[in-house]
Amino acid sequence: MNGQGADPSFERASRGARTFPGVPEENYWFRRHQAAYGLAARAVRDMGSGRILDVGCGEGYGSGMLARAARVDAIELDAGAALHAATTYPGVGVVRGDACALPYRPDSFHAVVAMQVLEHLFCADGFMRQIRTILGPGGALLLSTPNRETFSRTGEQNAFHVYEYTAEELEALMRVHFRRVRLAGLHHGAVLRAADRAAGGSLQHRLISTPFDELPPRLRTLARAVRSRHFRVGPAEGSLDLLAIAERGGGMDE
């Protein structure tokens, strides 16, 4: 995984449900998620000092990135992932818990980060309500989630996803609980647009539909070479992943 003593059984059990650093066949997805976490880390740093919660932290690499900018707590339902995150990323306080029943008091956090989590939840509306409660005045929720309009060519949903959102659906859900919501999207930059052409139109769809060891050698090489800098931020329309920031008001905004 990342050369820091990861449990191979944890990695095998989690394949398909989450992504990892240091695994060649996962590299594209890891770098894509890393790009979103990098954006969140910069946003958190710009917000000033405060306590941050990373919901659904997985093996913890994103929490580790956020911890460079702020104090980070993290929560993860999977016991193996939570243990790995707690023992691999110093300075991150990890607890095992359910995103549908967050064990935190009101006004506990300056920001909540939820990357590639919402699509796994049966409790999406309740999750938003909880986040609104545990955020302090002026706090913000930052999230990413696959864009249903581009994620699958066939319309078949990922087996690990409860629901995949369009930009309109995501904004409508968030506006029930937050007055100020901004949406953007993560897109391929120039290098990955060239990789799309090499893949016959869509690198992500080739990676979804074809086992990694059955891909042409050129595509395997391209997928292994992807870095977070090869993604860019753009409009929500046509994006790979939807990016959203929802701000809790304070004072007269309440």
Predicted local confidence at residue 155, as pLDDT? 58
Query: What percent of the chain has pLDDT above 70?
Result: 89
Predicted local confidence at residue 69, as pLDDT? 81
Residue 2 lies in a domain: no
Residue 59 lies in a domain: yes
Residue 6, pLDDT above cutoff 60: no
Residue 99, pLDDT above cutoff 90: yes
Residue 218 lies in a domain: yes
Say which residue, 155 or 212, is predicted with more confidence: 212
Q: Which range marks the domain in which residue 114 is found?
A: 8-253
Q: Which residue has the tokens 């023992």?
A: 87
Are β-strands 231-234 and 180-188 bridged in parallel, bridged antiparallel, or unpaired? Answer: antiparallel
Total number of domains constituting the chain: 1
Predicted local confidence at residue 8, as pLDDT? 45
E-assigned strand segments in the chain: 51-55, 71-76, 92-96, 109-115, 135-146, 180-188, 231-234, 241-247
pLDDT bin (cut points 50, 70, 90) of residue 17 is low
pLDDT bin (cut points 50, 70, 90) of residue 5 is very low
Instruction: Identify the CATH number of the domain in which residue 153 sits.
Output: 3.40.50.150
Q: What is the pLDDT of residues 113-145, one digit of tens each?
A: 999 999 999 999 999 999 999 999 999 999 999
Residue 26 lies in a domain: yes
CA distances from residue 233 to 7, 58, 182, 239 in whole angstroms, order as listed: 34, 23, 13, 9
Say which residue, 99 or 154, is predicted with more confidence: 99
What is d(CA 69, CA 52) in angstroms, rounded to the nearest whole number?
10
Backbone angles phi, psi at 162, to 5 degrees: -75, -45
Question: Both tokens of residue 42?
Answer: 């910069």
**226-230: average pLDDT:** 97
Say which residue, 129 or 5, is predicted with more confidence: 129
